[in-house]
Amino acid sequence: MSPKRQREEGGTAEGDKGEKGQTKAQKEEVAHPRKRFYRARAHSNPLNDASFDVPTRPEDYDWTEHYPELMAEWRERQAAAGAGAEGAGAAEAEAEAPAVRFVDIGCGFGGLLIKLATHYPDTPMLGMEIRDKVTAYVRERIGAKPCPW
């Protein structure tokens, strides 16, 4: 079989080794999402096409979906401060609310925030993107283990 034919069928001329000397089994350990399956129509405004609830204030939004551990810690601190002293403790717990340190508006596929995550691994970051397919891709990319960054 010719080397070109082997590559087309999934192998290479060297046998079952792929790019950079990796076997197929090594490549399939982590299945990262591929951008080509998450294409969005250019120059369209998804905010016009969909109807969804928009919170009027950040406090009205349930941030646990995006920051589960951070919000659980904050709620524990808030409950402990509220049980200790009613007036001053509640104000202190509210003041210690977790804050996002980096915000990328129109983040696209999240390249900037993913690069920042290598330098600031324990820092809360928020990327905002209006295209739902791109957002779905980034969620899968973040959830893939081990992280490529």
For residue range 44-84, what is the model confidence (pLDDT) as tens digits? Answer: 666 676 677 778 887 788 888 888 888 888 888 888 877 76
Q: What does the pLDDT look like over 115-133, one tens digit per residue? A: 998 899 888 899 998 888 8
In a domain, 71, yes or no: yes
**Residue 103 sits in the same domain as residue 148:** yes
In a domain, 43, yes or no: no
26 — alpha (psi -120 to 50), left (phi > 0) or beta? alpha
Q: Residues of 117-144 as b/e, b for ≥16 C-beta within 10 angstroms?
A: beeeeeeebebebebeebbebbeebeee
In a domain, 4, yes or no: no
Q: What does the pLDDT look like over 5-41, one tens digit per residue? A: 555 555 554 444 555 555 554 555 667 777 667 666 6
Number of structural domains (the chain) is 2
In a domain, 128, yes or no: yes
Q: Is the pLDDT confidence value at 104 over 90? A: yes
**Residue 110 sits in the same domain as residue 130:** yes
Give the CA diameter of the chain: 80
Phi and psi, residue 100, nearest 5°: -80, 130
**Residue 90 sits in the same domain as residue 124:** no
In a domain, 5, yes or no: no
Burial class (CB in 10 A: 0-12, 13-18, 19+), 110: buried
Residues spanned by the domain of 105: 99-149
